[in-house]
Amino acid sequence: MEYDERFEAMADACLKAHEAVAETGTPAMRAMTRALLWQVAQELAQKDERRKMMDRYDEASAERLDA
């Protein structure tokens, strides 16, 4: 299993945990799972931005090689 697949599985597990806590957990527990989900979202956004930057770099490199 690659990193992206493991990360996605972890994110899914966090979401399921949050759903369970939202039903029966304390306000403090709900706040903790919301914070965890926020952090997961931040990491996903950063990964997406890094991937876009690498794609732009690859395209620019290919254009220079073709020139």
Tokens at residue 41, please?
């979202």
Residue ranges per structural domain of the chain = 3-66
Whether pLDDT at 65 is above 90: no
Tokens at residue 5, please?
């697949």
Question: What are the tens digits of pLDDT across the range 5-37?
Answer: 999 999 999 999 999 999 999 999 999 999 999
Whether pLDDT at 67 is above 70: no
Q: Whole-angstrom Cα distance, residue 60 to residue 52? A: 12
Tokens at residue 31, please?
């706040």
